[in-house]
Chains A and B, each alone.
Chain A
Amino acid sequence: MRAGEHDTPLQHMSAIGAAAQASVPGLYAWGVTVVPCAWARGSPLGAKVLAVAALVFLAAGVAGERRFGHRARVGSLWGFVAASAATWVSAPMGVGPAHVDAARGLAGMLGWGLFAFASAAPVSKAPVEARAPGRASDDPAAVAAPPSRARATFGDWGYVGVGMLGAAAMQAVGWHVAAVERALFVRLVALAAGLTFVGAAVQVALARRLPRSPAPAKQRARRALGPLVALALLAAWGMASLTRC
């Protein structure tokens, strides 16, 4: 599939490759944790060379993935991580308490966590839509016709948009907490909840494109029975707590 043929944001994300998806959080983590260390006062030239090498590894993964596939992505990942670690080792004064405060440490941790998440679980390619039952198999127009552009774009943007809005709303909570430790904890929980929410919204959106089995409703309800029972028990416990107060 050539560039420009991707109708939905999900298909576009899956088409740019796993290395490209991981490059954004990787670049952020590099900027927050490696650059200040390499260019701290007193850092040796070798630290700067290693920092630049880490960036080159990251870029090489994006550039080489289309041609070399999985090997380019793995080489880029390990080269980027090794060069970043070598930078910290060669400039230990750059990671001392004088250069890294709690906010930068947390930002760096989040950046590397997002990089690891994007590297380990990139957006997968959307499955091919199944042909509708009863459609004539010898009708070339029916076989070659792409899915409705309006339906795919609106639906996917809707799900992803709701997911992103929900995740953004979660980040608006807890900015006036007095205690620093609790404030950082609230930020961590908010970020994790936001990422989980966006991931679930994308999963629900992708589920619309999967082929339907003959009796999906009973199987879907049965699969969700465990979480629904847990939800009912939690609701009952909540109601009981409210009536006791």
Chain B
Amino acid sequence: MLGSMHILDWLSIALVVAAGAAFVMGEVALARADDLQALYWLAVGIASLRAGVQVARPGAKA
């Protein structure tokens, strides 16, 4: 399974994991009442998640 995965599949996984980490950082900042930093990390998480899902989808019609 690992050998058949394209490099973009690994990039997709890395982006989704990074998005999870960014969401956690955003929540920590929100709990600390640092709203600007929380917004930043949540935006990073959303962009990373979106990029990860788009990279994972194969083909033009997918």
Give me the interface of A with B, judged by CB distance under 8 Å. 151, 154-155, 162, 166, 169-170, 173-174, 176-177, 182, 185-186, 189-190, 193, 196-197, 200-201, 203-204, 207-208, 210-213, 216-217, 219-221, 223-224, 227-228, 230-231, 234-235, 237-238
Whether the pair B55, A170 counts as a contact (CB closer than 8 A) is no
Contacts of B46 in A (CB 8 A): 196
Nearest CB in chain B to that of A148: its residue = B1
Whether the pair A173, B31 counts as a contact (CB closer than 8 A) is yes
Contacts of A190 in B (CB 8 A): 27
Contacts of B27 in A (CB 8 A): 170, 173-174, 186, 189-190, 193
Whether the pair A219, B60 counts as a contact (CB closer than 8 A) is yes
Q: Roughly how many angstroms separate A189 CA and B45 CA in the complex, as a whole number?
A: 12
Q: B1-36: which residues lie under 8 A (CB-CB) from chain A? A: 1, 6, 8-9, 12-13, 16-17, 19-20, 23-24, 26-28, 30-31, 33
Of the candidates B13, B23, B50, B60, which one forms a contact with A193 in the assembled complex, judged by CB atoms under 8 Å apart?
B23
Of the candidates A154, A200, A234, which one forms a contact with B43 in the assembled complex, judged by CB atoms under 8 Å apart?
A234
Q: Roughly how many angstroms separate A203 CA and B13 CA in the complex, as a whole number?
A: 11
Whether the pair A210, B57 counts as a contact (CB closer than 8 A) is yes
B contacts with A, residue count (CB < 8 A): 40
Of the candidates B40, B52, B59, which one forms a contact with A204 in the assembled complex, judged by CB atoms under 8 Å apart?
B52
Q: Roughly how many angstroms separate A185 CA and B47 CA in the complex, as a whole number?
A: 21
The number of A-B residue pairs with CB atoms under 8 Å apart is 127
Q: Roughly how many angstroms separate A173 CA and B24 CA in the complex, as a whole number?
A: 7
Of the candidates B1, B6, B51, which one forms a contact with A231 in the assembled complex, judged by CB atoms under 8 Å apart?
B51
The smallest C-beta distance from B24 to any residue of chain A, in angstroms, reads 6
The smallest C-beta distance from A166 to any residue of chain B, in angstroms, reads 4
Q: Roughly how many angstroms separate A86 CA and B29 CA in the complex, as a whole number?
A: 42
Whether the pair B44, A200 counts as a contact (CB closer than 8 A) is no
Contacts of B60 in A (CB 8 A): 213, 219
Whether the pair A213, B61 counts as a contact (CB closer than 8 A) is yes
Q: Could you list some 15 contacts between A and B, CB below 8 A?
A: A170-B27, A173-B27, A185-B30, A189-B42, A190-B27, A204-B13, A204-B52, A204-B53, A207-B58, A212-B58, A213-B61, A220-B54, A221-B8, A227-B50, A234-B40
